[in-house]
Structure 1
Amino acid sequence: MAAALQALPTVEVPSTRSPVDKSYRRMLHGMERFAREHALAPQATLRFRLLPRQPGMSMDGIRLKVVGDTGSKTVPIAADHSFTLERDETLWREDAAVLANRKTLSMTWRAEVRSPGVPEGMRRLGDLRLECLVGMEAGLVSNNAHLFAWLDEFLRSPERVCSDPNGNYMFFTERPVFAISLQHGERRATLPFHAMYAGNPPAEEMPYCDCQVLLEHSYHAPIWDASWPDDTLLSFDYADAPPAASAAAPQDRAAALAALGPPQTRLRFDSGREVWLYQSAPPTSLPPGPDGRPRMGEHVLLFSPAGATLKTRQRAP
C-alpha cells in the first residue's frame, strides 16, 4: 500500500485554507454554450475573468490551475485577470477543478464576451446576453449558498435567469458608474435606478453578493427585453468622469436636503461618493413597465466624498 501511494504523482496546489474552485466540466459546458448561441454575437470572442469580491483583495499574483486526480495544468492569466481554457480529455473524465490560490468568496468569476467594432466605453446587448448564458452554464456566479439555498435548479437555469426580468444577472463596468443609456437607431432610454448598484441590497446581504466591493460598478442589463435587439449599445456615464452638474442643481448635500427634502434612497459607496434617489409618480396613471414595475419619475444626484454635487440626472416615468 505504501509503495502504491509513493507511485502516485504529486500535484502542487498553493496552500490556502479554503481555495476558490470551479468545476472544469461546467466551465467547458459554458464554452460549448458559447458556440451554440454564437448567433447572439457572431464575431465575438470568449474569455473568463476574475474580479475582486472582498475588501482588500489583491488581484496581483493570482495563480490558476486545473487539477484532476492524476495531473494538473497551469492556466495562464492575462494582465486584465482574464483567461481561457483548453479541453483536456483526461481532466474532463476526472471531473477536475479549476483552482486559484485565493480563499473562497474572495473573488468572483465572470464570462466576458466582446464583439469587435464596439466603440470604446460601450457594450453590445447581444454580448451581454451571451455572457449571461455562458456564465450561468459554467456555474461562475459565486453567491453564497446561504442566500440562495431556496433556489432550485429550475431557477438557476440559464434560460430562466437570462430571460426573466427578475433574473438579475449582474454585470460590472470597468469604472464606477452613474448612469447607463441604451440606444438602437433613433430609440434611446436610460436604465432605471433599480437596475443599478445590485438593486441596492440591504447591508446584511452584502457579504453574500458578488458585488461586495464592486457595488459602484454593478448593473443589470435588460437582456430579457426582446424589444431591444442584440445590436443595441449601452453607454456609460462614469461617476469619476468630470463633473457635469447643471448650474440649477443643488450645490451640495445640505442644499439638496433643504430644497428637495430627504431622498427615498441614499447609497454611500466605499469610494466615499454618495448617490441620492428621488422618485415621483406620473401625473396620470400609466401601465407598468416591461419589467412589471410601476413607472416612476427619477431625479438622481451624485455627491463627492466632501458633499459637493458632482452629477445629476432625471428620468421620465
Structure 2
Amino acid sequence: MTVPYTRDPVDKSYRKMVRGMDRYARDIALAPQSTLRFQLLPRLPTVKLEGVGLKVIGDHIALPVAMAPDYSFTLERKQQALDEDAALVANRKTSSMTWRALVRSAGVPEGMRRLGDLRLECLVGMEAGLVSNNAALFAWLSDMLADADKVCGSPEGNYLQFAPRPLFGATLHSGARVEALPFRALYAGGTQTPATLPYCDCQVLLDRSYYAPIWDRSWPDDTLIGFEYMEEAEGPMPPGVASKEAARTALGEPAAAQRFDSGYEVWQYQYPPAAPKPPGADGRKPMAELVLLFDGGGKTLKFRRREP
C-alpha cells in the first residue's frame, strides 16, 4: 500500500523548479559559458545547514537529491515527479532556509560576479518560486512580484543577491567604466528593522545582501562586480571620524544606519556632489555619500566616498 504524500505549503514545487531549469535553457545567451545549480542558505539565526538533506517526494515517488559541500545541488528531470506534482522537501523547515539559483560562468575572476550570471539567476529564481518571503504578509501584492521578467527587468524588482562574506562595498567594472554601488543597493536597501527582518530572505544574511543593477541594460552582461568585505584590513581615516561619537560630533546624525548581529555598524552621510547632476530616472536628486564602518566598540574601521 502507498500512503499519498501531503505537501507542506512551504515546500518547493518540483514543477516550478523544472520551470526554472527551462528558463535557464531559454535565456542561456545571458551566460552562454555557465552552469546552473540551486543553493540553500540559512534564513534563521538558529539554522545550521550541516547534515541538511533533500528529497523529491510525490504520491508514489521519493528521490534523494545529492548535496555539494556548499549546499548546492542539481535536479534530474523525472516525468513521474512532474505528473504527481511532487515537492522538494528538506529535513528542516523549508521556510527556515533561503533558496537561490546559482549561475556561474567559466573564466570569471575569483571573488567576482558576472552581471549576466546574476540576471539569469534572477529569472531562474523567480520562475522556480525560490524567493521565500512570508506569504501571509505579501499575499496582497499584485502578480507582478511573481512575474520573472517584471521583477528582473525593473529597478523596483528588488531581487536580492548574496555575497560570500559581509560586505562593505561593491563596484561594477565594464571596460573603462567603473562605478561603486550606492548604499541603498546594499543591506536590502539599508532600511531593515527588527520588525521587518523576519519577512526578508536576508534575515541572517543582511550584511551579505546587495541589489545588482540587473535591470540596467547600459551595463552589458560581461560587466564584473568586485566586492570589498568588512573584515578586510582597515585604511587611513579622514580626520574627525575615528569613532561613532567623533563622527556624530563632526557630521551630525547619519542619513541612514544599519547595525548587524556581528556588532558591526554602517552609517551613511549624504552631501551635494562635486559636480551638480540632474535628477535620475527615479526622480531622485543624485547625492554624494560617505559611508563609515564601525566595530562593536564604536571604533571606525574604514570609510568610502561615492560620487553619483
Shorter-chain-normalised TM-score: which range? over 0.9
Q: What residue number does 1:4 align with?
A: none
Pairing of 1:137-148 with structure 2 (within 5 A): 137-148=127-138
Q: What residue number does 2:91 align with?
A: 101
Asked whether the equivalents of residues 19 and 100 of structure 1 are also in contact (C-alpha less than 8 Å), the reply is no
SS in 1 for 2:201: coil
Q: What residue number does 2:110 align with?
A: 120
Distance 1:175 1:258 in 2: 31
What number of residue pairs does the alignment pair up? Answer: 307
Q: What residue number does 2:206 align with?
A: 215
What's the offset of the Cα at 1:166?
A: 0.4
Q: In the alignment, is residue 111 of structure 1 matched against residue 101 of structure 2?
A: yes
Distance 1:58 1:220 in 2: 25
Pairing of 1:148-187 with structure 2 (within 5 A): 148-187=138-177
Structure 2 residues not aligned, in runs of 5+: none
**Superimposed CA distance per residue, residues 7-55 of structure 1 (whole angstroms, 9 cap, x where no aligned partner):** 22687x9xxxx78510000000000100010000000000000000011
**2:239 maps to which of 248, 256, 265:** 248
**2:2 maps to which of 2, 5, 8:** 8
Q: In the alignment, is residue 298 of structure 1 matched against residue 292 of structure 2?
A: no
**1:46 maps to which of 36, 52, 57:** 36
What's the offset of the Cα at 1:292?
A: 4.2
Q: What residue number does 1:194 align with?
A: 184
Asked whether the equivalents of residues 19 and 101 of structure 1 are also in contact (C-alpha less than 8 Å), the reply is no
Distance 1:238 1:10 in 2: 48
Pairing of 1:47-86 with structure 2 (within 5 A): 47-86=37-76
**1:235 maps to which of 220, 226, 237:** 226
SS in 1 for 2:125: helix
What's the offset of the Cα at 1:105?
A: 2.0
**2:123 maps to which of 133, 144, 169:** 133
TM-score, normalization by structure 2:
0.95
**Superimposed CA distance per residue, residues 80-129 of structure 1 (whole angstroms, 9 cap, x where no aligned partner):** 00000000010110000000011142101000000011111110000000
What's the offset of the Cα at 1:255?
A: 1.4
% identical equivalent positions? 58
Distance 1:196 1:94 in 2: 41
* Structure 1 range deviating more: 183-192 or 149-158: 149-158
What's the offset of the Cα at 1:297?
A: 1.1
Change in Cα spacing, 1:174 to 1:66, as seen in structure 2 (3 Å) is same
AA aligned opposite 2:136: H
Rg larger in 1 or in 2? 1
Distance 2:42 2:241 in 1: 35
* Structure 1 range deviating more: 246-255 or 51-60: 246-255
Distance 1:283 1:224 in 2: 27
Change in Cα spacing, 1:218 to 1:49, as seen in structure 2 (3 Å) is same
Distance 1:187 1:278 in 2: 25
SS in 1 for 2:11: strand
What's the offset of the Cα at 1:285?
A: 5.4
* Structure 1 range deviating more: 81-90 or 303-312: 303-312
SS in 2 for 1:203: coil
What's the offset of the Cα at 1:283?
A: 6.8
SS in 1 for 2:92: strand
Distance 2:116 2:178 in 1: 17
What's the offset of the Cα at 1:247?
A: 5.3
Change in Cα spacing, 1:210 to 1:245, as seen in structure 2 (3 Å) is farther
Distance 2:205 2:240 in 1: 28
SS in 1 for 2:169: strand
Distance 1:247 1:287 in 2: 29
